[in-house]
């Protein structure tokens, strides 16, 4: 039983005890008074009757007549005349008057007044005694009515006291409930503050809770800051601050595998020629400035174009990943113009070669690097004859042929309307190999075949059709869950959150499948937390009562930059493959992953890993205490 309920019962018990005690004590006092008054009345009436009978000079008939007259004029139970020897000479009795008081009340209070007795005489001769006893019915009725009035009055007072006590308990309960909600929020990863109440004891409790929550929040923020520092040390080049070769390649592989990227993308390689000769002629410090100038030119793109990545592949080689179509050649020439204007200031002989490629994103990473290296080698060869800054651009022969937006929209609308789609299932397993849930990306049937999300999602983004397609995928997942009871995870595009009709339609759809909804998981990209935090909050508030679990996918170090991640109401986070690839062979990367897990666990979140490709990485991730992993190796081997 809760504390408030115990206090309420205690207050109720005290009020009832006081009520019963007051009524009982008042009734007993009134009973004693009534009984005393009846005894006094009996004695007085007996004396008065005896005086009147003694004046009749022993005339028996007159005595009987007076006794009858006395009986008829008073409410008596009996009036008796006994002679000097105690023999009954005359008696008048009658039935007991019922009265208004119930029988149980009469039996409970029990008024028993002694009869009045007085001696009769004829001159100096005793002729007997007279006895009389008044009916107690009137006393019972008076006592009954008085008790009822007292009980009604005390009940009214008790009700008022109970209402006042209830209001007081509510006032006390509010800060207690706030303290409990605050403590539960800490367990759930929320660090809210509570207004201090006026009650001194509760004020001290609230102040202590606020201080504790603030301390936990500061620890979380300090841990997030340490993760950012560790990320810089592990993933970024010490001189330039851009991604190391290993991390850039991991980011490239992860970008090529994602469903939310463009169909066609670009890659630009930049090489500072004759690095060893420049070090000898200009000195290491000057060459470092040259490298920083190149990086400054490259970093202008990630700051303005979401999804761009910059990395340092080796001493003088840099790479720029461009998740957009038709911009690789333009970007390479713009970089060449910017470097042509700034690098000659460092002295003669500072030259760069640039190679740019544009390919369909389904090509493997090795093809991307091979084509880009070939383009860069040709640019470097041409620069020997031409001098200065040379750009070589290579595009896939099929690149550039695209359909109109209206045609893509029509095909997507037709696929959704006719339910031409299917869910592909990839397991997420725990350390014991048990399937936690199924990742279920949607394939749409377009142009006669089933197209994975990597093919249709960019088109849906351009046609602003993501909300309709996501609702279609959720509907398929709910039907599948209802059929076999297995939990499934659906990817929701952040762009769908911007659609005003998406959330109401989603709630309506989930309401049609209330049981299946409890086994549904919804993934949103990390960008939903960094760029659309308020919409993410609203999505969680709307879906949590329905039992739907909400999480972030493709998550990396960007989570540490989300200031209010503890308020997002998430259930889990899936770490991106670019964070996890190669974790088995790099202690710093493993330490970063372990730090991420500790930070997210402090927010009561489950932590899963994406894109696991080999057993060594899987074992290293289990050592980092992840809750589950998914990826090609998990699907092929069963996660064991």
Would you say residue 300 lies in a domain?
yes
Would you say residue 431 lies in a domain?
yes
Q: 607 and 587, same structural domain?
A: yes
Q: 468 and 378, same structural domain?
A: no
Residues ≥6 apart with Cβ < 8 Å to 141: 99, 100, 101
DSSP H or E segment with residue 234: helix 200-235
Bridge partners, 443 (sequence order): 422
Q: Is the pLDDT of residue 412 over 90?
A: no
Domain end residue (candidates: 395, 429, 445): 395
Q: What is the DSSP letter of 631?
A: S
Would you say residue 291 lies in a domain?
yes
Q: Is the pLDDT of residue 374 over 90?
A: no
Q: Which domain holds residue 97?
A: 3-159
Q: Which pLDDT band, with edges at 50, 70 and 90, does 400 fall under?
A: very low
- Residue 536 is part of a domain; what is its CATH number? 3.20.20.450
- Residue 98 is part of a domain; what is its CATH number? 3.30.450
Q: 347 and 479, same structural domain?
A: no
Residue 117, judged by CB atoms within 10 A of its CB (0-12, 13-18, 19+), counts as middle
Q: 291 and 424, same structural domain?
A: no
The predicted structure's pLDDT at residue 589: 83
* pLDDT greater at residue 213 or residue 472: 472
Would you say residue 191 lies in a domain?
no
Q: 618 and 482, same structural domain?
A: yes
d(CA 625, CA 607): 9
Tens of pLDDT, residue by residue over 307-332, are: 788 999 888 899 998 888 788 888 88
Would you say residue 434 lies in a domain?
yes
Q: 253 and 139, same structural domain?
A: no
Q: 619 and 520, same structural domain?
A: yes
d(CA 383, CA 391): 9
Q: What is the mean pLDDT of the chain?
A: 82
Instruction: Tell whether pTM > 0.85.
Output: no
Domain end residue (candidates: 159, 180, 204): 159
Would you say residue 146 lies in a domain?
yes
Unique residue bearing structure tokens 């936690």: 436
Would you say residue 204 lies in a domain?
no
Number of folded domains that form the chain: 3
Would you say residue 201 lies in a domain?
no
Q: 344 and 465, same structural domain?
A: no
Q: Which pLDDT band, with edges at 50, 70 and 90, does 25 fall under?
A: confident
Tens of pLDDT, residue by residue over 419-451, are: 889 999 999 999 988 999 999 999 998 876 888
The predicted structure's pLDDT at residue 424: 92
Q: Is the pLDDT of residue 407 over 80?
A: no
Helix, strand, coil % over all residues of the chain, rounded to 5: 60, 20, 25
Q: 409 and 391, same structural domain?
A: no
Domain end residue (candidates: 132, 159, 186): 159
Please report how the helices 587-601 and 615-623 are oriented relative to each other, as an axis angle in degrees rounded to 10: 50
394 three-state secondary structure: strand
Q: 386 and 425, same structural domain?
A: no
Tokens of 404: 């109109």
Unique residue bearing structure tokens 């004029």: 73
The predicted structure's pLDDT at residue 224: 65
Q: 425 and 386, same structural domain?
A: no
The predicted structure's pLDDT at residue 535: 86
Q: Which pLDDT band, with edges at 50, 70 and 90, does 638 fall under?
A: low
Q: Which pLDDT band, with edges at 50, 70 and 90, does 401 fall under?
A: very low
Q: 144 and 255, same structural domain?
A: no
């Amino acid at each position: 039983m809760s504390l408030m309920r115990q206090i309420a019962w205690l207050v109720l018990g005290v009020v009832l005890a006081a009520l019963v005690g007051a009524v009982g004590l008042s009734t007993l006092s009134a009973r004693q008074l009534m009984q005393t008054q009846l005894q006094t009345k009996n004695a007085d009436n007996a004396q008065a009757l005896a005086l009147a009978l003694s004046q009749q000079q022993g005339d028996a008939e007159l005595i009987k007549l007076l006794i009858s007259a006395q009986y008829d004029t008073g409410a008596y139970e009996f009036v008796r005349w006994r002679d000097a020897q105690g023999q009954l000479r005359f008696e008048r009795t009658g039935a007991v008057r019922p009265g208004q008081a119930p029988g149980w009340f009469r039996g409970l209070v029990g008024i028993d007044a002694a009869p009045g007795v007085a001696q009769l005489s004829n001159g100096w001769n005793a002729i007997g005694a007279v006895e009389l006893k008044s009916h107690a019915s009137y006393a019972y009725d008076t006592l009954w009515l008085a008790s009822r009035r007292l009980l009604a009055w005390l009940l009214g007072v008790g009700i008022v006291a109970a209402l006042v006590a209830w209001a007081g308990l509510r006032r006390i309960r509010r800060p207690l409930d706030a303290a409990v909600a605050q403590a539960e929020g800490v367990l759930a990863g929320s660090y809210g503050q509570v207004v201090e109440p006026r009650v001194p004891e509760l004020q001290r409790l609230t102040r202590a809770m606020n201080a504790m929550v603030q301390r936990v929040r500061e620890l979380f923020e300090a841990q997030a800051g340490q993760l950012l520092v560790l990320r810089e040390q592990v993933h970024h080049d010490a001189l330039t601050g851009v991604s190391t070769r290993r991390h850039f390649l991991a980011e490239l592989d992860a970008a090529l595998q994602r469903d939310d990227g463009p169909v066609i993308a670009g890659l630009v390689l930049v090489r500072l020629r004759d690095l060893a000769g420049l070090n000898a002629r200009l000195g290491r410090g000057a060459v470092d400035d040259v490298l920083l100038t190149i990086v400054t030119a490259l970093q202008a793109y990630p700051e303005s174009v979401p999804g761009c990545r910059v990395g340092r592949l080796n001493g003088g080689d840099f790479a720029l990943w461009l998740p957009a179509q038709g911009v690789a050649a333009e970007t390479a020439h713009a970089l060449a113009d910017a470097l042509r204007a700034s690098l000659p200031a460092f002295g003669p002989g500072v030259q760069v070669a640039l190679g740019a490629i544009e390919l369909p994103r389904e090509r493997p990473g090795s093809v991307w690097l091979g084509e880009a290296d070939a383009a860069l080698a040709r640019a470097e060869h041409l620069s020997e004859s031409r001098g200065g800054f040379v750009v070589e651009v290579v595009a896939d022969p099929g690149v550039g042929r695209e359909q109109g937006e209206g045609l893509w929209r029509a095909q997507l609308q037709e696929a959704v309307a006719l339910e031409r789609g299917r869910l592909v299932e990839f397991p997420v397993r725990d350390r014991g190999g048990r399937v936690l849930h199924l990742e279920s990306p949607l394939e749409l049937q377009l142009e006669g075949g089933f197209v994975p999300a990597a093919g249709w999602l960019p088109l849906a983004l351009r046609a602003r059709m993501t909300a309709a397609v996501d609702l279609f995928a959720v509907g398929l997942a709910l039907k599948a869950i209802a059929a076999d009871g297995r939990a499934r995870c659906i990817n929701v595009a952040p762009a769908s959150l911007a659609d005003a009709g998406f959330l109401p339609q989603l709630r309506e759809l989930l309401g049609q499948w209330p049981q299946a909804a409890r086994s549904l998981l919804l993934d949103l990209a990390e960008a939903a937390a960094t760029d659309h935090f308020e919409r993410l909050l609203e999505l969680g508030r709307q879906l949590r009562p329905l039992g739907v679990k909400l999480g972030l996918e493709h998550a990396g170090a960007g989570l540490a930059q989300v200031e209010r991640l503890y308020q997002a109401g998430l259930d889990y986070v899936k770490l991106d493959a670019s964070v996890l690839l190669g974790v088995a062979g790099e202690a710093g990367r493993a330490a970063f992953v372990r730090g991420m897990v500790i930070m997210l666990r402090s927010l009561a979140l489950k932590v899963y890993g994406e894109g696991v490709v080999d057993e060594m990485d899987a074992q290293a991730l289990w050592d980092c205490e992840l809750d589950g992993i998914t990826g090609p190796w998990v699907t092929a081997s069963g996660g064991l």
